[in-house]
Amino acid sequence: MAIVTAMPQLAIIDGFKDVVDFYYWMGIPCARKWPNSPGHIRTPAVMEGWLPFTYAAKEWNNLSLEIQAAYNEWSTNSGLSGRDMFTRSYMTGLYRYPIP
């Protein structure tokens, strides 16, 4: 990320399309390299997480409305939805205890 002194004109922004991404962050004009896909090959760790994530995503619909409501209430003011909180708790565990 680079902070720019002023947002350039639209013609300049259009000239850098797919090369530089101009945006505002907290009211500050910024620029960064255009985001690119990492390609089709994923690391083994990423591929390992696909199956549990898929399972958790499907299981949300199988939860009772009471349990969904509890997750929605639990996630209040956390920046996550109840579904996100459920998925996170399934993937990483509800609580993390220090290992001696």
Q: What is the residue extent of each domain of the chain?
A: 2-33, 44-92
The pTM for the full model equals: 0.54
Q: Given a cut of 60, is residue 100 above it in pLDDT?
A: no
Position 13 scores a pLDDT of 87
Instruction: Write out the two tokens for 42.
Output: 């994923």
Task: State the residue for tokens 């399972």.
Answer: 55
- What was the pLDDT predicted at 98? 59
Position 80 pLDDT exceeds 80: yes
**Residues with Cβ < 8 Å from 13, sequence gap 6 or more?**
7, 22
Sheet with 20-25, edge to edge strand ranges: 2-3, 28-33, 20-25
pLDDT tens column, 6-56: 888 889 888 888 889 999 999 999 999 888 777 788 889 888 888 888 998
**Residue 29 CA: distances (Å) to CA of 3, 49, 73:** 6, 36, 36
Band (73; pLDDT cuts 50, 70, 90)? very high
